[in-house]
Amino acid sequence: MSLLLLLEQTLNGIQFGVFLFMISAGLTLVLGIMNVVNLAHGSFYMLGAYYAATIMAWTGSFILALVIMLPAMLITGIVVEVLVLRTMYERDHMDQVLATFGLILFFNEAVRMIWGAESMPMDIPAFLSGHVDFIPDAPYPIFRIAIIIAGLLVAALLYVMITRSRTGMLIRAGASNRPMVGALGVNIRMLYMVVFGMGAVLAGFSGLMAGPILSVEPGMGEDMLILAFVVIVIGGIGSIRGAVVASIIVGIFETVGRSILPALLTQLMSSDAAQSMGPAMSSMLIYIFMAAVLFFRPEGLFPARTG
Amino acid sequence: MKIKFIAMTAALAMTATPVMAKTIKIGFINTFSGGAAIYGKHQKDALELALDHKGRKIGGLDVEVIYGDDQRKPDVGRQVAAKMLQKDKVDVVSGIIWSNILAAVQKMVVRDKTFMITTNAGWSHMAGKGCNPYFFSTSWNNDQSPEAMGKLMQDEKIDNVFLISANYQAGKDMLTGFMRNYKGKIAGRILYRLGQRDYQAELSQIRAAKPNAIFGFVPGGMGVAFGKQYRAAGMHKTIPFYSVFTIDYLSMPGWGKNAIGTYSTAYWDVSSKRPDNQKFINDFKKKYGYHPSLFAAQAYDLPFLLEYAVSAVKGDLSNKKGMIKAMEKVTYLPTKGKFSYNTNHMPIQNFYKRKVVADANGDPQVVTESVVLRDHKDAYYKQCKMRRP
Amino acid sequence: MMSRAKILCLLIGFLVLVAIPPATTALDADFYMGLAARMMIFAIAAVSLDLLLGYGGMVSFGHAAYLGTGSYAVAILAFYGITDGFLQFAVAVGASALVALIIGFICLRTKGVYFIMITLALTQMLYFLGISLEEYGGDDGINTDRSEFFEWFDLGDDTNLYYLILFFLVLSLWISWRLINSRFGMVIRGSQSNDDRMQAIGFPTFRYKLTMFVIAGVICGVAGFLLANLTEFVTPEYMHWFRSGEIMIMVLVGGMGTLFGPVFGAIAYLLFEEVISDFTEHWMIIFGPILVLLVLFARKGVWGMLPGRERGDD
């Protein structure tokens, strides 16, 4: 493998990592602050993509899709919070897992009934299509660069909001001592509702960015959900910094791993066996990596201060 | 009172007796829920349309179809099949999209001496060592479409091809089939993870290998994602995409314009002007509002195949020998046109080169360009030792 | 002490299970015998998972791993022509014990959400491993024959298999009952309510929990052994994370932390799936909200709702 290709694959890995971060951010926020395991996060990601694809099909505008999708996701998130999640805060994780598992089943089937079982069309908007050549002979899609920029913006925004703003301060306080903040006259209910809604918006936003290059279809969130969980567990639950680092690591691991592993294995065994072992091993690689991290650091790379 | 009673019993007797023998029960197992439910939708719609066209009768018998959802899980499929055999006492078990579900179901069906007619799954075992008198197919063997593709690329002297397929059994079968007829250079080979959605790493690898073309098996949503990224990377301009079971009317809504300019091989001559074929396509579009896929075509043929069997035995469904004999002699089905059954009960049929072009509105449309393999037999039939009942 | 209603319920339930094979044969409804056998197998899996969830406070989201391990033990041995039931059983038990030991050793160092997620991830890893086992069918799965025990006990006969499954169900309930009420069980239950305190008293809870984890894995591995025999077919699908979720739902529906609850949960879940999927192919849209409602309002499960002390019957 040439050095240029390795460079390109590393870039691919970083881009995939940034994309993973976008999905993981909302999940780690909800889990870290509210201590709620929300499997339906993948469903929000799917809904975001479907909302956006629908609006794009009507209006043809990606910007309009973004502008309408975000509040729509906020409302969806809040409705789910009020109807289901609100009663779940005091419950143990197992109850949360099962109830949100029920939500996954519901949303997948609802999407199938409303939009049909086939993939829904969604194209790259004209102003983000095309590619640039910053690695020789390897034109890079502009939309993927847009994903990297969007992901960095999300990270910066979250960082500023949580560490610098009053809301962020309340959120952090509420996470460490809920009754105390409540006693100080802060409406914790409202706060949690907003945080959960924000989680849904973040998931929906990554769905919007995924739509034009991945496939918009029922159940599209499940695969990503598991990867997102891997990311936040490696990074340390509730830690945005951890999520950034872990998603980039996982992204590079996944991407570079699956492109060089078959080649490496060919040195060790017959080409045929290597060809089929390679992908199998690379799909297990991140899980092994996660197990290794948790074995030595049971609370992830960057344990958040609060449980 | 008495007269009324007698009249009632008479009426009952009249309705009761004919019903007993005059219904053929078809158990149709398919994937109706979960991520792959689209296959079930196409096949069910097509089967219903076929029954409409046949006036809801097969060989003079009423038809009862019992639909069963396998949820794409082999053990659930087996459970559904057991119910159809033991509770509903069906005469035919049909449908079945996936090889692994066929593998789980077929044994119990044929052991029960019930007909097992696959409308899709092309598990090679059934064409070779596992062949059975009660097993028939309205589709193909897994290897055949890629065999046609290998022949096509060989004939067109497209050298230096990059292969990409999913890392599971059917995916590997596709490459095996392709290599049977393709003798040129291989630029590289990738088996991606089943269910993968991001192919940027693979695309980089393909481009670095500088192939003249790609041969791919990237079905369903995976293909839709692959298509978008392939186009976004601008590779459609330099490296053409040849595929099997990847681009068809089933995945077309997701592929959209990305599909234009790609090539595939398949058994169904979708452009055929044969009236039966046109009637199927037009009525299907009219009734359901979307274009039928080749999966729909396979299911549409099922009642027509059974028609031959049931009329040959004059509605006596217990005469299984007669039914088997009649089906073996079938040489025409509406969407297939002329074909014949091989000794292993797999169709001997043509395979076509298909291209996706833009129609008058700029929408993608599949057209067949030429015959690649004429009267093609699968690679396994010689291993089949059919033991007749 | 159990309430009279519960004892009556168990007695009737047991008699029904015993009577199913002759009844279904007489009525020519073999299908229901197969369904009941399937229910009992998942009941065994659910009982074993409840040992972790309900008593050990270990929320394992990867219990399907052992279902897969047990069933692959049968299929892989049969693939090499080894059909001896005793050997297959021994390998199924040994393999699931080993897998549980490794997974448990890694996972039990973590707590809470980390534990849930790492069990999920490791099981998903096994699922991908199953898919890539080309030799043994990969994603297609692999056909297998029934295990062979004695001349006079032919497992090929559905009734024999049925009673073998019933035997193992009763056995696994008995083992669970003995475990929970032993000193060992008390330590486990103690560590569920306060792990630190148990450690402070001087119990090495990690070792205790790991042992429990392995026992639960082995019982579920036996369920896998039986499942392979019932379906005569093994597939990586048995290890998919949705399957782990289903077993978890069975425990919840039946009643967590009760001995017999999971049995009723498995029966209720599979019966519901059977009935409702006949009714509409969109059954998930009904089932999803029902699951949410069950979590919200019926924490005690079917079994817990019968009169009697809440946790006393264990």
Look at strands B186-192 and B161-166 and give their pairing. parallel
Which residue in A108, A290, A307 is closest to C118 by CB distance? A290
A284 neighbourhood in chain C, CB within 8 Å: 125, 128-129
Q: How far is A107 from chain B (nearest CA, A)?
A: 11
CA distances from A94 to A98, A150, C112, C180, C255 (A): 6, 34, 9, 21, 13
> Distance between CA B382 and CA B47 in Å, rounded?
32
Q: Which letter does DSSP use for residue B256 in this model?
A: G
Check if A95 contacts B (Cβ < 8 Å).
Answer: no
The label of the residue with tokens 């003079």 reads B60
* Domain locations along chain C: 33-240
Mean pLDDT of B298-315: 94
Partners for A (CB, 8 Å, 3+ pairs)? Answer: B, C
Query: pLDDT per position in chain C (314 positions), as tens?
Result: 567 788 888 888 889 888 888 888 888 777 888 889 999 999 999 999 999 998 888 899 999 999 999 999 999 999 998 888 899 999 999 999 999 999 999 888 888 888 988 898 889 889 988 887 777 877 778 888 888 887 777 787 888 999 999 999 999 999 999 999 888 888 888 888 788 888 888 888 888 999 999 999 999 999 999 999 998 889 888 999 889 999 999 998 888 888 899 999 999 999 888 888 777 778 888 888 988 988 888 777 777 777 665 444 44
| Chain C residue with Cα closest to A89 | C296
Partners for B (CB, 8 Å, 3+ pairs)? Answer: A, C
Find, among B368, B313, B308, B367, the residue nearest to B332 by Cα: B308
Return the structure tokens found at B333: 């089905």
Check if A257 contacts B (Cβ < 8 Å).
Answer: no
Find, among C193, C79, C81, the residue nearest to C136 by Cα: C79
Q: Are B27 and B81 in contact (CB under 8 A)?
A: yes
CA distances from C271 to A111, C172, C293 (A): 26, 22, 18
Partner-chain contact B168 C235, CB within 8 Å: no
CA distances from B219 to A235, B249, B255 (A): 34, 12, 11
- Check residue A272 and give its pLDDT: 66
Greater confidence (B92 vs A254) lies with B92
Find, among C168, B85, B38, B307, the residue nearest to B77 by Cα: B85
Partner-chain contact B104 C35, CB within 8 Å: no
Give the distance, in angstroms, between the CA of residue B327 and the centroid of all CA atoms in the same chain. Answer: 18
| Chain C residue with Cα closest to A36 | C113
| Chain A residue with Cα closest to B36 | A117
Partner-chain contact B33 C283, CB within 8 Å: yes
Which neighbouring-strand residues pair with B26?
B65, B92
Query: Which SS3 state, helix, strand or coil, does residue C279 take?
Result: helix
C128 neighbourhood in chain A, CB within 8 Å: 280, 283-284
Residue B73 has pLDDT above 70, yes or no: yes
CA distances from C87 to C78, C93, C96, C233 (A): 11, 10, 14, 18
C132 neighbourhood in chain B, CB within 8 Å: 167
Check if A112 contacts B (Cβ < 8 Å).
Answer: yes
CA distances from C29 to B88, B108, C24, C146, C178 (A): 10, 16, 5, 22, 36
| Max CA pair span of chain B | 91
Query: pLDDT per position in chain A (307 positions), as tens?
Result: 678 888 888 888 999 999 999 999 999 888 888 888 899 999 999 999 999 999 999 998 999 999 999 999 999 999 999 999 888 888 888 889 889 999 999 999 899 889 987 888 888 888 888 888 777 777 888 999 999 999 999 999 988 888 888 777 777 777 677 777 777 777 788 888 988 999 999 999 999 999 998 889 888 888 888 889 889 989 988 888 899 999 999 999 888 888 887 777 777 776 666 666 776 777 778 888 888 888 888 888 887 654 3
Which residue in C29, C35, C231 is closest to B104 by CB distance? C231
Q: Is B195 left (phi over 0), alpha (psi -120 to 50) or beta?
A: left
C282 neighbourhood in chain B, CB within 8 Å: 33
Check if C241 contacts A (Cβ < 8 Å).
Answer: yes
Q: Which letter does DSSP use for residue C54 in this model?
A: I
Check if A118 contacts B (Cβ < 8 Å).
Answer: yes
Look at strands B61-69 and B57-58 and give their pairing. antiparallel
Q: Which of C71, C233, C283 to mutate to test the interface with B (most CBs of B within 10 A)?
A: C233
Backbone phi, psi, residue C9, to 5°: -60, -45
Check if A146 contacts B (Cβ < 8 Å).
Answer: no
- Check residue C311 and give its pLDDT: 47
CA dihedral of residues C177, C178, C183, C186 (deg, nearest 10)? -10
Which residue in A97, A104, A299 is closest to C61 by CB distance? A97
Q: Are B267 and B145 in contact (CB under 8 A)?
A: yes
Mean pLDDT of B39-59: 94
| Chain A residue with Cα closest to C298 | A95
| Chain C residue with Cα closest to A107 | C285
Find, among B86, B91, B87, the residue nearest to B28 by Cα: B91
Partner-chain contact B37 A283, CB within 8 Å: no
Q: Are C50 and C301 in contact (CB under 8 A)?
A: no
Class of domain B22-140+273-350: alpha beta
Sign of CA dihedral A36, A37, A43, A45: positive
Give the distance, in angstroms, between the CA of residue C280 and the centroid of all CA atoms in the same chain. Answer: 27
Which residue in A97, A113, A294 is closest to C118 by CB distance? A294
Q: Are C237 and B70 in contact (CB under 8 A)?
A: no
Count of A-C CB contacts under 8 Å = 127
Partner-chain contact A123 B256, CB within 8 Å: yes
Look at strands B340-341 and B347-358 and give their pairing. antiparallel
Find, among A94, A115, A100, the residue nearest to A38 by Cα: A100
Residue B253 has pLDDT above 80, yes or no: yes
> Distance between CA A259 and CA A285 in Å, rounded?
12
Q: Are C127 and C234 in contact (CB under 8 A)?
A: no
Q: How far is A16 from chain B (nearest CA, A)?
A: 8
Model confidence over B307-319: pLDDT tens digits?
A: 999 999 999 999 9
> Distance between CA A224 and CA A64 in Å, rounded?
25
Partner-chain contact B99 C281, CB within 8 Å: no
Partner-chain contact B75 C231, CB within 8 Å: yes
> Distance between CA C12 and CA C29 in Å, rounded?
21
The residue type of B261 is: G
A94 neighbourhood in chain C, CB within 8 Å: 53, 59, 116, 248, 252, 256
Question: How many residues would you count in chain A?
Answer: 307
* Domain locations along chain A: 10-221
Check if A114 contacts B (Cβ < 8 Å).
Answer: no
CATH 3.40.50.2300 in chain B: give the residue spans: 22-140+273-350, 144-266
| Chain C residue with Cα closest to B98 | C140
> Distance between CA A49 and CA A69 in Å, rounded?
9
Return the structure tokens found at C162: 């049925």
Contacts of A117 (CB under 8 A, 6+ apart): A218, B37, B38, B40, B41
Instruction: Say which range, A185-194, B17-26, B56-65, has the weakest mean pLDDT.
Output: B17-26
Q: Are C236 and C141 in contact (CB under 8 A)?
A: yes
> Distance between CA B342 and CA B324 in Å, rounded?
13
Model confidence over B212-233: pLDDT tens digits?
A: 999 999 988 899 999 999 998 8
- Check residue A273 and give its pLDDT: 67
Mean pLDDT of B294-311: 95
Q: How far is B206 from chain C (nearest CA, A)?
A: 23
> Distance between CA C217 and CA C223 in Å, rounded?
10
C235 neighbourhood in chain B, CB within 8 Å: 73-75, 100, 104
Q: Which letter does DSSP use for residue A85 in this model?
A: G
Interface of C with B (CB under 8 A): 29-32, 34-35, 38, 128, 131-132, 134, 137-141, 143, 227, 231-233, 235, 237-238, 277, 281-284
The 10 Å CB-count burial string (b at 16+, else e) for C202-239 is ebebeebbbbbbbbbbbbbbbbbbbbbbbbbbbbbbbb
Partner-chain contact C128 A101, CB within 8 Å: no
C241 neighbourhood in chain A, CB within 8 Å: 226
- Helix or strand run (H / E) with residue B353: strand B347-358
Backbone phi, psi, residue C61, to 5°: -100, 25
Find, among A285, A241, A31, A108, the residue nearest to C121 by Cα: A285
Residue C174: how many other CB atoms lie within 10 Å: 11
Partner-chain contact C233 B74, CB within 8 Å: yes
Q: Which ranges of A116-217 would DSSP assign to H, the alpha helix?
A: 142-164, 166-176, 178-183, 188-210
> Distance between CA C112 and CA A141 in Å, rounded?
41
Partner-chain contact B83 C31, CB within 8 Å: yes
Give the distance, in angstroms, between the CA of residue A1 and the centroid of all CA atoms in the same chain. Answer: 31
Q: Report, in angstroms and rounded to the nearest whole number, the Rg of chain C calculated over CA atoms.
A: 19
The label of the residue with tokens 């046609």 reads B148
| Chain A residue with Cα closest to C127 | A284
Contacts of C90 (CB under 8 A, 6+ apart): none
| Chain C residue with Cα closest to A235 | C114
Average pLDDT, chain B: 89
CA distances from B142 to A232, A241, B139, B386, C212 (A): 41, 48, 9, 20, 46
Query: Which SS3 state, helix, strand or coil, does residue A135 take?
Result: strand
Sign of CA dihedral B269, B274, B280, B285: positive
Q: How far is A302 from chain C (nearest CA, A)?
A: 13
Fold of the CATH domain B144-266: Rossmann fold (3.40.50)
Q: Which of A215, A222, A270, A284 to mutate to test the interface with B (most CBs of B within 10 A)?
A: A215
Find, among A219, A233, A171, A222, the residue nearest to A199 by Cα: A171
A271-296 and A221-235 are packed helices; what angle lies between their axes, rounded to 10 degrees?
50
Q: How far is A62 from chain B (nearest CA, A)?
A: 16
> Distance between CA C249 and CA A97 in Å, rounded?
10
Partner-chain contact C281 B73, CB within 8 Å: no
The label of the residue with tokens 């999803």 reads C288
Find, among C80, C35, C95, the residue nearest to C231 by Cα: C35
Return the structure tokens found at A103: 């939500």
B107 neighbourhood in chain C, CB within 8 Å: 143, 232
Q: Are B243 and B146 in contact (CB under 8 A)?
A: no
Q: How far is B76 from chain A (nearest CA, A)?
A: 17
Partner-chain contact C288 A279, CB within 8 Å: no
Q: Are A280 and A217 in contact (CB under 8 A)?
A: no
